[in-house]
Amino acid sequence: MTRPSSPELLSFGEAMTLFVAETTGDLAEVERFRRRIAGADTNVAIGLARLGFHVGWLSRVGDDSFGRYLRTTLEHEGLDCRHLITDADHATGLVFKERALDGADPRVEYRRRGSAASQLAPADADEVDFSALRHLHATGIPPALSPSCRELSYHLLGEARRHGASLSFDPNLRPSLWSSEREMRETLNDLAAHTDWVMPGLAEGQLLTGQETPHDIAGFYLDQGAEAVFLKLGPEGGYYRGRLGGEEQAFSVPGIAVAEVVDTVGAGDGFAVGVISALLDGVSPRQALQRGCLIGAEAVQVSGDMEGLPHRDRLEHLEAALDDTSRRSAT
């Protein structure tokens, strides 16, 4: 059988088996959980694959039932897992998530120390065909997992840029994984400086840059070499400042109203899916920012990290409805 062409997009990091509580309350009291998958990097990869992109996933899983579950699930979602390595010496990471009420951020507990994915290293990218790569998405999670994962992050960004791929970066802060806040700030800001499109949340940007306003946070990354900054403002929408298309622009778009917030986890990943897919589709930064807010709003209306990410036909329906609403509001 002929092997399919190399992925045009690549994401990397740690996918974990997720257990979501079926009832509210302290996890110590919960007896029933539903098994799913978790991981910011895989959320984005799955979201882009659902929109029709050929997305590769680079990671490690344990030689265990959880690793087999992850591989099967990711392949079912359309990810190209040729760069997913089975590690016989380390286990697959696990995460447990409570069921929160009234749209609150759910508490989560991780079992990932020494996981298979934390053993990732530059050599794991030896088989990547960078010449075929159109875009690489990175987050701040892999460099927090281990020194070798950090080396891999720099290696992938460097090789992708050398071969002409565009690069996006979402800080996805995980302070508990870092030895110090200073190390986290310096490392993630340095990684962001190696990319084209930076996508922090407002609080993340404030912590990382020391700036307060979206305008100044974006300016920090533009001064470091980024081409564009898309800030996540939660229910308030998003903010853009950048040089896509040549002349620098800055603007915001409002958030998308939702009937009920069910689960906030994954909203930022949905935002990244929207922005990246739109820019790769060749639309304007304003349309990209709006799509980011739209998919982020979809993500919070269902339980689960990636269950709300739309397929292309659903996205087209949502964007058409949004355009129709905007036209009616303008008349």
**Active-site residue numbers?**
269
- Indicate the pairing of strand 228-232 with strand 55-62: unpaired
Here the tokens at position 213 are 């306003």
**H/E element, 151:** helix 147-162
Cα dist. 257→38, 203, 227, 247, 254 in Å? 25, 21, 29, 31, 9
Here the tokens at position 179 are 């030895």
Here the tokens at position 155 are 């290696």
Report the amino acid identity of residue 147.
P
Residue identified by tokens 């917030």 is 261
- Say how far residue 199 (Cα) sits from the centre of its chain: 9
- Distance between CA atoms of 288 and 318, rounded to whole angstroms? 14
List, in order, residues 6 or more apart from 311 with CB less than 8 Å away: 50, 51
- Distance between CA atoms of 218 and 160, rounded to whole angstroms? 23
The single-letter DSSP state of residue 324 is: H
